[in-house]
Amino acid sequence: MGKVGSKPMATLKHCTLWKADRSPSCRAVMMGLDAMNISITEVDVDIDKAEHRAQDIVAMNPFQTLPIFKDRELILTDSHSINTYLAARYHNCNKLLPRDPGGRAVVDQLLLYNCGVLQPRYRAAADPILYENCRFVLPDQIYEIESSYSDLDGILSGRPWLTGSLMTLADISIAATVSTMNILVPVDKKKFPNLIRWMYTMSEESFYSTANDKGLEEFARRIGKFLNVETSSKICYEFVK
């Protein structure tokens, strides 16, 4: 359990998450759940065996992506909507997702940045390796990812968290993506000291160990095998220690 919640675990028996640990968007939801101290049924779907394209899964999510979340009749197929739904519906604390419209909008705009900019850049770098026999990260993708690191480093200048003084769902979603991109294009601690400091702080949260570490390792092993190099999910934080 992360530092955010201190209440007893809420078990929502009517909710199910279909997920794959190696997927950053799934890990964003898994971290969100642990940060909110919410337990739901989790079903593993093997993307590598194309299980996410099975008929019953596609019936829930025609986009053929994970995660998929179901709460009785409600089906959600985007990690950002899943986390904000869970926070608004089941989490009695307005830190991770502020209730005031201004605070909420600031979190939303970072979630949209993750969905609209970071995730596509991650997939543009990872998919050729995972699915198209590419044996390196393409130079254009390295450039795009490093531009994102630069944006994030700027946002984090002089503040501990992405929205300011409190950790929110935006930190969780973006940490899932950036920690995965870091395996493909390691974050240079000299060029992006604020980003590395934030990544290190995130990695110390207990929900990060319970819900991000394992899938990240799995992704690093898989990418390392394809690229025939040793990749690591470790964060080089000595610079900021």
Ligand X SMILES: N[C@@H](CCC(=O)N[C@@H](CS)C(=O)NCC(=O)O)C(=O)O
Binding-site ranges for ligand X (CB under 6 A): 23-25, 47, 52, 65-67, 78-80, 115, 119
CB of 83 to ligand X, least distance (A): 9
User: In 3D, which of 45, 32, 66, 216 has the Cα closest to residue 12?
Assistant: 32
**Between residues 79 and 231, which has the closer beta carbon with respect to ligand X?**
79
What does DSSP assign to residue 151? H
Calpha distance 36→54 (Å, rounded): 31
CB of 195 to ligand X, least distance (A): 20
Range list of H helices, the chain: 24-35, 55-60, 79-90, 101-113, 119-131, 139-155, 169-184, 193-203, 206-211, 213-227
**Between residues 66 and 196, which has the closer beta carbon with respect to ligand X?**
66
CB of 1 to ligand X, least distance (A): 23
**Between residues 182 and 194, which has the closer beta carbon with respect to ligand X?**
182
Which residues share a beta bridge with 43?
A: 18
CB of 66 to ligand X, least distance (A): 4
Q: What is the rounded end-to-end Cα distance, in angstroms, of the chain?
A: 24
**Between residues 119 and 201, which has the closer beta carbon with respect to ligand X?**
119
